[in-house]
Amino acid sequence: MFLILFIITFTFGSGCIKNFEEESYYNVKDMDISAERTGTAFIDLNVTTYIEKMQGDSMKNTSLLLKAYSRESGLLETQKQIELGVLKKGDTKSVSQVLTLPKNGGYDLRSVLFEENVQKGNGEIKVYNLDALPAEVQETGLGIPEMDFRVKKVDGGKVLVENDIYLANEGRETSKDFRMLVKVREMDAGLLADKVWTHTGEIKPEATVIQTVNLTIPDQYNYIVEVLVWNNDTIVERGEGYIQLSPIVEVKDRKNTQARKIQTSEFENVVETEIIPEEEYADKKEAPGFSLALSAILFCSAVILRRRFV
């Protein structure tokens, strides 16, 4: 009995059965970096990290934390974490993450691998002179979500249409003042009825503006209105709308179609829409009733009258 007790004590004390799980070892083998999108002020960097599990049979979850430090200040600019799940011994996995960074100077990009909450490996890659990269010509941030059409005048078979074009800046910086071509084309024949050149104007981030052009078209036809935004000699954005002055409709038996007669002059609208300035709009939104100053005057008057009658 003494011998058996001694063997058990020696076994636990030496650590032979203290932990049957093989400790995990990982290796960040390599890191690749590429520019996914290059704007004038920001850049999207795609960072791919290659991870190898060299040893270990644990079934613990792993995660990868990607950090970007400014090379000039050494401060942490941004970071992003992704869950990888369980890696098996001998597995090699590639993980891609996208970081959006100001296009200034360079950055130290560090990938840190964790198993549960324990750091198991890391890798680093450097990037320089991002501000020297040219912005992508196609990247404007502009979109054309909507167009409105209003009949201003009908005369001699010609229709003057006011076209409101909604321009939304979905980017992270103020857009340039681009040239914009508005074309109106007959739907069936493809003939061009009118075209007008204008400008988008500079648009702030997350703002929407309306640019208006006048188009003259023959009555009783259907049209496609094309809007093309140009950056020098390149079309960088386009939108499309429809004007149907002779729409095709189904007759009652739903087997035949016919053109519907539209009396365009009934839609004639010469009243100019007044744009309410932001300051006036804010004043109009105030709750009705007396102003603070007027309320104070009335209150003082009521006190004086009360004293006279008391």
Q: pLDDT digits over 182-199, tens only?
A: 999 999 888 999 999 999
User: Of the ranges 130-144, 181-195, 266-280, which one carries the lowest mean pLDDT score?
Assistant: 266-280
Q: Are residues 250 and 177 in the same domain?
A: yes
Q: Are residues 47 and 73 in the same domain?
A: yes
Q: Among 77, 106, 132, which residue terminates a domain? A: 132
E-assigned strand segments in 71-204:
76-86, 92-102, 107-115, 118-127, 142-155, 158-169, 179-186, 192-199
Q: Are 145 and 165 in contact (CB under 8 A)?
A: no
Is 306 a domain residue? Answer: no
Q: Using CA atoms, how far apart are residues 191 and 34, in angstroms rounded to an integer? A: 45
- The percentage of the chain sitting over the pLDDT mark of 70, rounded to a whole number, equals 75
Q: Are 262 and 219 in contact (CB under 8 A)?
A: no
CATH number at residue 179: 2.60.40.10
Domain that holds residue 76: 21-132
Q: Are residues 86 and 155 in the same domain?
A: no
**Chain centroid to CA 75: how far?**
26
Is 11 a domain residue? Answer: no
* H-helix segments, the chain: 2-14, 278-284, 292-309
Q: pLDDT digits over 225-250, tens only?
A: 999 999 888 888 899 999 999 887 65
- What pLDDT is attached to residue 18? 45
Is 118 a domain residue? Answer: yes
Query: What pTM was computed for the model?
Result: 0.53
Q: Look at the chain and count its residues.
A: 310
* Order of all β-strands in the sheet with 118-127: 76-86, 61-70, 107-115, 118-127
Q: pLDDT digits over 37-67, tens only?
A: 887 678 899 999 999 998 887 788 999 999 9
Q: Are residues 109 and 209 in the same domain?
A: no
Residues ≥6 apart with Cβ < 8 Å to 198: 179, 180, 182, 211, 213
The pLDDT of residue 122 is above 80 = yes
Q: Are residues 123 and 201 in the same domain?
A: no
Is 237 a domain residue? Answer: yes
Q: Are residues 64 and 84 in the same domain?
A: yes
The pLDDT of residue 279 is above 90 = no
Q: Using CA atoms, how far apart are residues 46 and 81, in angstroms rounded to an integer? A: 14
Q: Provide the number of structural domains found in the chain.
A: 2
Is 4 a domain residue? Answer: no
Q: Are residues 218 and 254 in the same domain?
A: yes
Q: Among 132, 154, 178, which residue terminates a domain? A: 132
Q: Are residues 184 and 111 in the same domain?
A: no
Question: What is the 8-class DSSP label of residue 256?
Answer: -
Q: Are residues 148 and 208 in the same domain?
A: yes
If one compares 209 and 258, the residue with the highest pLDDT of the two is 209
Q: Among 132, 156, 178, which residue terminates a domain? A: 132
Q: Are residues 42 and 96 in the same domain?
A: yes
User: If we measure between CA atoms, which residue out of 91, 98, 101 comes closest to residue 50?
Assistant: 91
Is 172 a domain residue? Answer: yes
Q: Are residues 146 and 126 in the same domain?
A: no
Q: Are residues 172 and 205 in the same domain?
A: yes
Is 33 a domain residue? Answer: yes
Is 282 a domain residue? Answer: no
- What pLDDT is attached to residue 176? 87
User: If we measure between CA atoms, which residue out of 224, 223, 220 comes closest to residue 263?
Assistant: 220
